[in-house]
Amino acid sequence: MNAHGALWIAALAGNLVLAPKSWGQAAVPPAADHTATYRADSLRLSGRPWHAAETLLAAARRDPNPNAFLIVEGAKAEVHARRYEHARQLLVGQPWLLDYLGGEALAVLAQAEFGTDQYASAATHFQMARARAPAAHVPLLAVRAGIAFEAAGQADSAAAAFAAARSGGTLASIDTWLRVRQARVTRDTAVTAQLLADLPPPAAREAPRARARSLLLAGDTTRALDAYAMAGKGGGLDAARLALATGDSTRARTLLYALLARDPLSDDAAAGVSLALRPLPPRTAEQHVALARALNRRTTTRDARVHVEHALRSGDSSATTLLLYGELLVASGRLREAVRAYAAAARDSASRPLAIYRRARVLVRLGDSTAVAALSGFALRYPADSATPGALYILGDMQDSRDDWRQAGRWYGELISRYPGDARASLARFRLAARAESTGRPDSAAALYQSEIDAAGPQRTAARFWLGKMAEARGDTTQARTIWVGLAREDSLGYYGMRARRETGLPPLAFPPVSDVTTPPPAVLAGLARIDTLLLAGLDTEAQAEVRVALARPPADLEGLLAWSEGLGVRGFGSAGVRLGWQAALLAPGDVRVLRAIFPWPNRTAVEAEAQEFGVDALLLAALVRQESVFDVEALSPAGARGLAQLLPSTASLLARGLDVTFYPDWITVPDLNLHLGAAHLAELLRRFGRVDAAVAAYNAGPIPVRRWLERAGAGDPDRFIELIPYPETRGYVRSLLRNRELYRALYGP
């Protein structure tokens, strides 16, 4: 079960496979004191499965002889917290296991076994639970048994379980998906053809792979191999594995390296790397390069570099390979070698501009005396290249960092005059304006801010705000107020509009109360119910496919968009819900419900509880989660940060040790555990820096650069500190997060 499923299943008490109630008459008397279990149930329903598990664990420690009720409730809490081995150990071997509440304990044990990859045992216990369960739960348990049988390699039993789940029509809303599941474990290809006939999307996309698996079960390896090869996404890897299993290593190698070359950063390519490293090592230069691209950003750069070097020794001197080699050398800190690689790549006319630019940037990092000539030469030679504004900005930044403002002004000025609308020109204006203010030249600073406005630059609202600050500084409060009131009105939802509102003493941003909740349109209710059923059945991948359909074919009306947005958000698909909220904004940009869809708070109870525990402003923590993950419980960043608060596994582990919390990497996306660690991290940064702007900057960029930024002149002014953050991502992050906090205050109250 993934975190989407675990979070939402916890809230489906009426239909839940592992529900604490509704399983018929208890064969074991419940505990006399339900305090701990009621508390845990409340925590679980509010999206706090980890705290629920901890609550019951503490109760069990207090009771030397916990009864069956407490043990089963504790095991369920452990499953929801993804602590599967803990749950399994609580239940295995219990004398009352077979008789407890119509198979409920058996179902929990099966979930725990599935989570620890004990698929055969899980299938057996799901079947036993199914035989004892109330009628309403039998089909869902049959699906889970089928999934476990398939994972255990017991295809015939899986097919029978899926067929049983389909019988009676209880799961009609997901029958197309069950047909695919049944087809791919069916040996009779004629039956498979019937199951896969006339499938609607999105289930139809899985039909080719299901057909290939059926052919393989039927013993028709040749046709199965062809079917996999034609199946599109995922099929190439399956085909390579099958070809290898049948002894055709030549075809397996061809299929594998075609996949790595075609989509090196895909999940299939990541899974295929293990084949390339062991049974199917690269033999040609092209294959070495393909493997290097798949390894890049996944393992150490050394692993990728070794394969590129092998290709180069084999005679591959293409510019694309040399550019990749230069990139890997830079990542390895071998800068002089990177300079030579880029120089060699520059011999190719098509790659020359990029190679020259990259070489010049490496020279800057080396502090080489030829760096200025290399960058300026590039900017002169390739004025139309998209990298040229960046080259001019780097030239200015180099001199800026040396406090050579005459040369810095030269390069910044050239950037502004040649590329006035470029984002780097905007940064240059603000650098020069800050310098002008600090050296007593307010008129020059004002002219630069005005030029940003005239150029419709990306920081034009910031420029207006600073013109207001300059007017106030020279005593012209009337002009300052005029500027700020206009900015607050025209940029009411932006960071600088809110800052202007505060400076002028205008009342805080406020919105009318949300009108009575309307019933979602029937089509949306049906779509969300289908996702719920898939999650309850353990078909998480299929549920995600349904979410993608909702995004690809959203309703055209406002009510439908808002209903989908809210429904997906509370199910843990936060980023999908916000995307639909932005589409709703095209229809009704001023509607408060639309703003709530774009800035949702689906985990409010959990966020507020964690904020209170660590003494953090709940609105600030909500704003941080919105900025980090958009409330997507499974969010994964390119750097490897995970979960609602976007923590790196190493950071999460360190925080857990400091809090004396047991932690395993697999638990990082458990919603409230992730929030617990994220809130602790934010609280520590607030204590360390003593100010919100610096703390949130450190959450994004790390504390070391923030300490350096705080030492600069003017950093005591929060506005100036934020403006001069040199990392564009961090500067935007801080602005957005502080803006988000004010929006959450206005939308959701204090």
pLDDT for the residue numbered 676: 97
Categorize the per-residue pLDDT at 304 as very low, low, confident or very high, splitting at 50, 70 and 90: very high
Task: Report whether pLDDT(8) > 60.
Answer: no
- How far, CA to CA in Å, does 688 sit from each of 643, 681, 703? 24, 11, 9
Task: Report whether pLDDT(144) > 80.
Answer: yes
At 689-738, the pLDDT tens digits run 999 999 999 999 999 999 999 998 889 999 999 988 989 899 999 999 99
Q: Report pTM.
A: 0.87
Beta bridge partners of 632: 573
Going by the DSSP 8-state scheme, the letter that residue 636 receives in this structure is: B
Task: Report whether pLDDT(257) > 70.
Answer: yes
The angle, 0 to 180 degrees and rounded to 10, between the axes of the packed helices 671-689 and 692-701 is 120
pLDDT for the residue numbered 4: 53
Higher-confidence residue: 65 or 604?
604
Helix ranges (H only) for 280-351 are 285-295, 301-313, 319-331, 335-345
**Mean pLDDT value across residues 447-468:** 97
Token pair in block for residue 558 = 């406002």
Length of the chain: 750
Beta bridge partners of 642: 636, 647
Query: How far is CA 606 from its chain centroid?
Result: 19
CATH architecture under which domain 3-170 falls = Alpha Horseshoe (1.25)
Query: How far is CA 90 from its chain centroid?
Result: 33
Residue among 518, 530, 596 nearest 557 (CA): 518
- How far, CA to CA in Å, does 701 sit from each of 623, 691, 695, 708? 17, 16, 10, 12
| Cα 205-190-119 angle, rounded to 5 deg | 65
Percent of the chain with pLDDT strictly greater than 70: 95
pLDDT for the residue numbered 33: 52
Least confident range from 41-50, 579-588, 671-680: namely 41-50
**Mean pLDDT value across residues 308-328:** 98
**Mean pLDDT value across residues 170-190:** 98
3-state secondary structure of 333: coil
Task: Report whether pLDDT(323) > 70.
Answer: yes
Domain 522-598: CATH class, spelled out = mainly alpha
d(CA 588, CA 229): 46
- How far, CA to CA in Å, does 1 sit from each of 6, 180, 549, 616? 6, 20, 21, 31
Tell me which residue has tokens 């790659």: 351
d(CA 3, CA 731): 31
What fold does the segment set 604-748 form as a domain?
Lysozyme (1.10.530)
Q: State the catalytic residue, choosing from 503, 628, 723, 742.
A: 628
Domain extents in the chain: 3-170, 522-598, 604-748
pLDDT for the residue numbered 209: 95
Residue 634 bears catalytic tag: no
Task: Report whether pLDDT(465) > 50.
Answer: yes
pLDDT for the residue numbered 343: 98
Least confident range from 24-38, 48-62, 184-198: namely 24-38
Higher-confidence residue: 668 or 515?
668
d(CA 340, CA 359): 8
d(CA 279, CA 623): 48
pLDDT for the residue numbered 460: 96
Task: Report whether pLDDT(387) > 80.
Answer: yes
d(CA 374, CA 380): 10
d(CA 606, CA 618): 10
**Mean pLDDT value across residues 6-21:** 38
The answer to whether domain 3-170 and domain 522-598 are alike in fold is yes
Q: CB–CB of 697/737 below 8 Å?
A: no
Categorize the per-residue pLDDT at 32 as very low, low, confident or very high, splitting at 50, 70 and 90: very low
Categorize the per-residue pLDDT at 66 as very low, low, confident or very high, splitting at 50, 70 and 90: confident
Tell me which residue has tokens 């958000």: 569
Least confident range from 15-29, 178-192, 451-465, 472-486: namely 15-29
Beta bridge partners of 513: none
Task: Report whether pLDDT(30) > 70.
Answer: no
Tell me which residue has tokens 């015939």: 156
Task: Report whether pLDDT(242) > 90.
Answer: yes
Residue among 723, 711, 713, 718 nearest 439 (CA): 713
3-state secondary structure of 556: coil
d(CA 338, CA 180): 50
Categorize the per-residue pLDDT at 234 as very low, low, confident or very high, splitting at 50, 70 and 90: confident
Average pLDDT, the chain: 92
**Mean pLDDT value across residues 437-447:** 95
